[in-house]
Amino acid sequence: MSTGTSLRELRQWVCWRAEERGGKLTKVPYSPASGLRARCDDPTSWGAFAEARETARERGYEGIGFVFTAADPFCGVDLDGCVDPETGEVEPWAMEIVRKLDSYTELSPSGTGLHIIVKAKLPEGGNRRGRFEMYDRGRFFTVTGRRLPGASHRIEDRQERIAALHACLFSRHEGAFPSANGAAAPDNNLDDAEVLHRAISAANGERFSRLWVGDSSGYPSDSEADLALCSMLAFWVGPDEDRIASLFSRSGLAREKWDRKDYRRRTISRALDGMTDFYTPGQNGAGPSRNGHHRSSGISIPNGPSPLPSLPEAPAFPVEAMPSSCRPLIEEATDALGCAPELVALPMLAVLSSAVGTSCVVEIKGGWREWASLFVAVVASPGAMKTPAAKVAKKPAFERQRALSRAYAEEKEDWSRELREWEVEKRDAAKSGEPAPEMPEAPSMGRCVASDTTVEALVGILEDNPRGLLVHRDELAGWVRSMDQYKGGKGSDRQHWLSFWSGDEVVVDRKSRMGEPIIVARPFVSLFGGIQPAMLGELGGGAEDGLMDRFLFAYPAPRRIRFTEEEVSAEAEERYAALYDNLANLKLATDEHGDPNPKPLKLTPEARRLFAQAVDALGAEVLDPGFPRRLEGVWAKLRGYLARLSLVLAVCRCAETGVREERVEAEDVEAAVRLLGYFKAHARRVYAELSAPDSLDLLAGGLRDLLEESGGKWEGSATDLHRALDEREAASLPGRPEELSKLVLRIGERSPVLEAVQGWRKTGGREGKSRRVLKLALVEPAQEPAKNAVDPVVAVDPVSEGDNGTNGNNGKNNTVDPREPEGDNSDNGNNGANARAEGSPASAPADATDARSADGDHHDDGRERFTL
């Protein structure tokens, strides 16, 4: 976090640990200097940030905290129990507060709450209500540094917004904030079917769906799951206990215990306790407009569902794109375990790619070669059967590792015997004055699999196993946390993993080598792991190094796991295992240094044509208006993944059919393209989970749709454009046309395929009035962005607008830069000659610009002038 007046600069830091008081766990502050309990009214018991952090590490405290005082400018907002620990999803009421305050926000130590820090002073009145608290003095907040994805990095000045929020929550006027218990929420006129439809379609719809069908996985107990579902139902139907009970009784969670009146009433009462927001459709213009924008400018706790969009749809995994030897096992394991097919297929891809290893590469063209290395991750909640499914896929690799371990044990036993014999020979040679015989070389264990290992140890394994490894981590969040754990977070583990993905040379210094580094010229690692949705932010690790962009993700929709009588057949397992063994036994050629010398596989002409089309399509998608900018790095890596997947599929096909001439065929590229389409869709789901979409991206998507419906061009006033987008319910549409025109020009600046020009249009003859208009057009991404793509233009004199700037003759290339900021008074020079030389439109007299210039009546507000 950063701020003008930094929290870190203030000596207001303490350590803390959780202790039981009155049967409840409480966070107790401790002085970083004395180790005694700290007090929020005793500055001598506080310390500096670095001191508190170091003390917490050395003495085993659970964390550090900041003490708010009347002397500092900071205020803390505590939102309790608003984050789903399983998915990381923030409840709608809390997300609205986060967005309104728009300041530094982080997860609480438990991961179930949020702390927002702003610059503000609290008004007089209350500071606690239900799960909401706010303090600016006399209280300490734990500080975790785990920033909420998408939240601001800075602590912002939010005095007015805090005052408005405080008034909304703690106003003494009746009706200013609805009471959950005893006060009826406004009737929303939703029948049960509509309630269920809206609940399932809301931002937390997946979590609701799981609970509704009876899936309580991810909750400490069935009672906690009951409470969660009652809370969701209460939001939609209001504090109507009878209706909540009636709906709950229809859910999959309903059981004998629910029939107990005391348990039912107690659970619903707990759900309603402190609840202040219920769904209410907009009324009398006070609610959201058709495009979701609230017409009220003040801060309020939301009465409707979260404005966060639902996750993009999760398409089904294309099992038919997998090697034929894999498909039966995927289908049978899916039926037997009840899991999503990708939970078996993704680790299977990693296992097969690790078997290929450094034996071959795909050669796209001179200088562009790709290994078979894959980094794949399954995003799923606990109980989704990630581990059993991965076990099915890993089995051949782990059986091979066991065989290598047995072989190593035998070799080590032989070596021990040879070593004993060498010791005898050595002594005999010394007695006879002869040179000692050469010491037998110790064997090393062959490796094809690694799990919990440091980068240094992994590089050591790769040094002895040039073919490469499969690295499997059950939880990728733990993998990220373990990086540089022995180096105070200052190591280069992430950089080494980037090198593993790229196959670049890795150099690691180890003390045990007495200054001699380990150098692996061609490291090969295929990585597979699982991660929970709530932990996705950990994978990025707060770094912008692109490590997360290098993963192929599967984020299937939750499904209810049911017991089945289905089993995996031995035949399906044997077919898959035979394919793995064939790949693992491919010849590994080496150069004169002992480094891998992979066999290059080339693409057939038809495969090359399909590959080029797919690469071009990826490039076009990135340029598409509305494409999320945060996915640009992901799409850049997908070009390489298209080649890698084609390689893996081609080698598998050749191993299955016994083809001797190994090359990448068109069918391999086609299957890789199908897999790539799946991974693109799931990348969008993953990154949507991490943060809200960029508002400009959403608006750009609406502009693209409008232009496509209009034949690629559109012209009109900002008001016309605002009305057209509002009718289409375009996302992120600002409230005023003036704001829209500025955003449209910004989108045009950053999009090479969307031309956006602002200028003037005559409405009636030479002496008629002029009006300001926007001209939009979609252009081919390959052509040079040209401002005359929408129309040639010449200058006019919109006298009615009262512009008295100095524009000179702005006819150069029939246009000026339409993106100059309004009010720019720079002189554009006399460019009329250039305009005439290059040709003026027939409707514009050649002397129109000169006449204006002679009169000295010019306009230079940075806007393009044009006329029909």
pLDDT at 327: 96
List Cα–Cα distances, 529 to 346, 376, 551, in angstroms. Answer: 9, 7, 10
CA angle 337, 249, 233 (to 5 degrees): 90
Q: How many CA atoms lie within 13 A of 688 on its CB side?
A: 18
At residue 184's C-alpha, the angle toward residues 183 and 187, to 5°, is: 160
- CA 212 to CA 225: how far, in whole Å? 10
Q: What is the DSSP letter of 785?
A: P
Let me know if residue 297 belongs to a domain. no
- As a whole number of angstroms, the distance between CA 551 and CA 501 comes to 10
- For 440: left if phi > 0, alpha if psi spans -120 to 50, otherwise beta; the answer is beta
Same domain? For 826 and 727 the reply is: yes
CB–CB of 459/466 below 8 Å? no
Assigned domain for 307 exists? no
Q: Are strands 525-531 and 375-379 parallel, antiparallel or unpaired?
A: parallel
* Residue 512: per-residue pLDDT: 56
Verify that 117 and 264 share a domain, yes or no: no
Q: Which domain holds residue 367?
A: 319-404+446-688
Rounded to whole angstroms, what are the CA distances from 193 to 237, 281, 306, 573? 12, 16, 20, 45
Q: How many CB atoms lie within 10 A of CB 771?
A: 15
CB of 370 closer than 8 Å to CB of 643: yes
Same domain, 250 and 326: no
Q: What is the largest CA-CA distance in the chain?
A: 120
3-state class of 715 per DSSP?
Answer: strand
Contact in structure between 751 and 779 (CB atoms under 8 Å)? no
Q: What residues contact residue 450 under an 8 Å CB cut-off, 6+ apart? A: 458, 461, 469, 470, 471, 472
Looking at the structure, do residues 111 and 211 belong to the same domain, yes or no? no
In a domain, 432, yes or no: no
Amino acid at 47: G
* Rg (alpha carbons) of the chain, rounded to whole number: 33
For 429-440, write each residue's pLDDT tens digit: 998 888 988 999
Q: Does residue 280 lie in a domain region?
A: no
Q: Name the residue among 832, 827, 791 with its Cα closest to residue 811.
A: 832
Helix (H, G, I), strand (E, B) or coil at 185: coil
Q: What strand order describes the sheet that includes 139-143?
A: 24-30, 13-21, 63-68, 139-143
Which residue positions in the chain have pLDDT lower than 70? 1-5, 21-24, 130, 170-189, 203, 273-277, 280-310, 484-491, 510-515, 541-544, 691-693, 763-768, 781-868
Question: How far apart are the C-alpha atoms of 781 and 627, rounded to whole Å?
Answer: 14
Are 136 and 234 in a shared domain? no
Alpha carbon distance 529, 375 (integer Å):
9
For residue 677, the domain's CATH number is 3.40.50
Query: What is the rounded CA–CA span in Å between residue 384 and residue 391?
Result: 14
759 neighbors 728 (Cβ within 8 angstroms)? no
Residue 674 falls inside a structural domain: yes
Distance from C-alpha of 604 to C-alpha of 669, rounded to nearest angstrom: 10
Q: Is residue 313 part of a domain?
A: no
Q: Tell me how far apart the alpha carbons of residues 348 and 326 are, in angstroms, rounded to a whole number.
A: 8
On whether both 576 and 647 belong to a single domain, the answer is yes
Looking at 170, 203, 235, which one is the last position of a domain?
Answer: 170
Q: What's residue 171's pLDDT?
A: 56
Q: Which residues pair with 519 in a beta bridge?
A: 507
Give yes or no for a contact between 116 and 168, defined as CB atoms under 8 angstroms apart. no
Question: Do residues 613 and 716 both lie within one domain?
Answer: no
Residues 6+ apart with CB under 8 A from 205: 199, 310
Using the structure block, give the residue that is written with the tokens 């769904």.
Answer: 279
The H or E element containing residue 754 is strand 754-762
| CB proximity list for 552: less than 8 A, separation 6 or greater | 346, 374, 375, 376, 377, 641, 679
How far, in Å, CA of 199 to CA of 279, rounded? 11
H or E element in which residue 681 lies: helix 666-690
Specify whether 96 is located in the same domain as 208: no
Strand, coil or helix: 105: strand
User: Is 457 part of a structural domain of the chain?
Assistant: yes
Domain count of the fold of the chain: 4
- What is the pLDDT at residue 739? 85
Same domain assignment for residues 675 and 703: no
Q: Are residues 465 and 351 in the same domain?
A: yes
CA–CA distance, 57 with 558 (Å, rounded to integer): 38
**What integer pLDDT is reported at residue 91 of this predicted model?**
87
Q: Do 643 and 672 sit in the same domain of this protein?
A: yes
Domain for residue 300, yes or no?
Answer: no
Q: Amino acid letter at 540?
A: G
Shared-domain flag, residues 656 and 752: no
